[in-house]
Amino acid sequence: MTIVVGFVPTKEGRAALHRAVEEARGRSRRLVVINSNRGSRDFNDETARLAEEELGELTKQLASEGLQVEVRQLVRGNEPAEDLIAVANETDADLIVIGLRRRTPVGKLILGSNAQRILLDAPCAVLAVKA
């Protein structure tokens, strides 16, 4: 069984990763870190290189801490929710961890579309972490 976490280099992404690492340790599970990007014109060679470097460092750090970890950078034109759900199905995940932004009282009525889709369509439990 695995724990899948959606990671982007933001405060929310780091909070989700931190909690996913805690869960993986506590449950003795493999951790699959997903960095999903739709691949628009903003995602150029330099952006891809920087993301790859950061994910490589992340992999080394987590592996040095004794975690069984796999890091995937996905640029397939999918929404992040699609990628996380697909990887959760593929790996028979027992948990998906996502980060959420703090929102205004009105904003709390509407979750982000990716978070909402993951919460509704995930094949396993979802842990939403506020940063």
Calpha distance 5→34 (Å, rounded): 6
Q: Residues 83, 36: contact at Cβ < 8 Å?
A: yes
Band (111; pLDDT cuts 50, 70, 90): low
Band (88; pLDDT cuts 50, 70, 90): very high
Residue type, 51: A
pLDDT on residue 104: 57
Strand, coil or helix: what is 4? strand
What's the mean pLDDT in 59-71?
A: 89
Band (107; pLDDT cuts 50, 70, 90): low
Band (70; pLDDT cuts 50, 70, 90): very high
Q: What is the pTM of this model?
A: 0.84
